[in-house]
Each structure stands twice: as C-alpha cells, then as structure tokens.
Structure 1
Amino acid sequence: MPFAAITYDVKSGFEKEITEVFRGFRRVRSSVVEDDTGRPEATILSTAVFIRDATLVRVIEYEGDLDAVARFMANQPGVREFEERIAPYLSRPRSTATIEDFVATFKRSLLNPVVQFSVRDR
C-alpha cells in the first residue's frame, strides 16, 4: 500500500494548539473514494500526523488514485473546517478555498517518497 506525506508550514511554539485542532478533526464520511458515478477509485486506509517545531506532516496510507484522494478530501466538511481552524497557526497560508485550489495545494505539499516497505509486500 502506498503512503503519501503532506507538509504544513506551521508557526513554532503552537504545538499544543495545533494538536488540539487535529484532536477536533471530524473524520471523513467514508474511507472509500468514489468517482461521480459511484465507482470506487481509491481507499484511505490510515492517516497519522506528526509535529515538531515548525514542521507538521500528515501521512496517508491509501490504495488507488492519489489525485482522487485529494479531490475527495477537498469535498469533506471536516477537512474544510480543519483548514479554517489551522489557518491561524500556518507560517505560509494554504490556498484551499476551491476544490482546484485544495488539490493544487495538496500536490505542492507532497513530500517525494524515497522508499516504502511493508510486510504486506512479501
């Protein structure tokens, strides 16, 4: 299963407040990502968030099309709410007002994968 890591440029010294923003996150309504016709395009398997000083990273484990995952996330009410709540703690604003803006920001925020290992790959 592939992983994607997304960075957020955050202000140092607000780790506690940022952690609270994530604790209040409303999960997506389904882990299955469907296209406009209802056909499954991807599945979000798990997520994790890490923070230290001015670096925040969200890791997403998924199957399928990562672009579909980004479009799906852009439409989720909890994600929209999260983007509003995290904004005061960002050192570099994220443009996420529209689906297109969200997807472009998502892609710009991706870390380049170096290597991924899993016991499931055996």
Structure 2
Amino acid sequence: MPFAAITYDIKPGFEKEITEIFTGFRRVGSPVVRDATGAQSARILSTAVFIRDATMVRVIEYEGELADIARHMAVQPGVREVEEKLAPYLSRPRATDTVEGFVATFERSLLTCMAQMSVRDHAPA
C-alpha cells in the first residue's frame, strides 16, 4: 500500500492549538473513493499528522489513484473544516476553498517518496 505525505508551513509555537484542531477531526464518510464515473478508484486506509517547529506533515496510506484521493478529500466536510481552522496558524496560506484549489495545493505540498517498506509486501517465511 502506498503512502503520500503532504506538508503544511505553519507558524511555530502553536503545536497545542493545532493538536486541538485535529483532536476533534471528523473522519471522511467512507474510505472508498470514487472516480468521475462513480466506480471505486481508491481507498483511504489510514492517516497520521506530525508536527515540529514550522512544519506539519499529513501522511496518507491508500490504495488506488492519488489524484482521486485528493479530489475526494477536497469535498469532505471534516477536511474542509480542518483547513479553515488551520488558516490562522499557517505561515503560507493554502488556497483550499475550492476543489481545484485544494487539489492544486495538495499536489504542490506533496513530498517525494524516497523509500517505502511494509511487512505486507513480503510473503511469510
């Protein structure tokens, strides 16, 4: 299962406030992601958020098409709520109020995956 990581440029010193934002996060309605035709194209398996100093990283474990994951996240009420609540703590604003803006910001914030390993990738000994 692949992982994606996106960064947020945040103002340092607000770790507690940002943690509180994610404590009340409303999960997506379904982990199943559908493409424009309605067919299942991806699935969100897990997410995690990390923070240190002026950087926050959201890690997403998924199956399928990452572009469809980004479009799916763009319309999720919980994701939109978090983006709105994070705005005062960002050192670089994110234009995520439209689907197009969210997807463009997601792509621009995406880290390059250098290596990825999982015990699930190997047959049992």
Q: Please say whether Structure 1 and Structure 2 have the same fold, judged by a TM-score greater than 0.5.
A: yes
Partner of 2:15: 15
Gaps of 5+ in 1: none
Report the Cα distance in structure 1 between the residues aligned to 2:5 and 2:36, rounded to whole angstroms. Answer: 26
Divergent runs of 4+, >6 A: none
The Cα offsets for residues 26-69 of structure 1, whole Å up to 9 and x where unpaired, read as 11000000123321000000001101111100000000000000
| Aligned match of 1:81 | 81
Partner of 1:108: 108
Q: How many residue pairs were aligned? A: 122
Equivalences for 1:65-80 in 2 at 5 Å?
A: 65-80=65-80
- What letter is aligned with 1:99? V
Read off the aligned partner of 1:3 and give its amino acid letter: F
RMSD: 0.7
TM-score, normalization by structure 2: 0.95
Whole-angstrom distance in 1 between the partners of 2:23 and 2:36: 30
Does 2:96 correspond to 1:96?
yes
Spell out, residue by residue over 1:53-88, the C-alpha distance to the aligned partner (whole angstroms, 9 max, x if none): 111000000000000000000011111111110000
- Deviates most, 71-80 or 30-39: 30-39
Q: C-alpha separation between the residues in 1 aligned to 2:34 and 2:80? A: 19
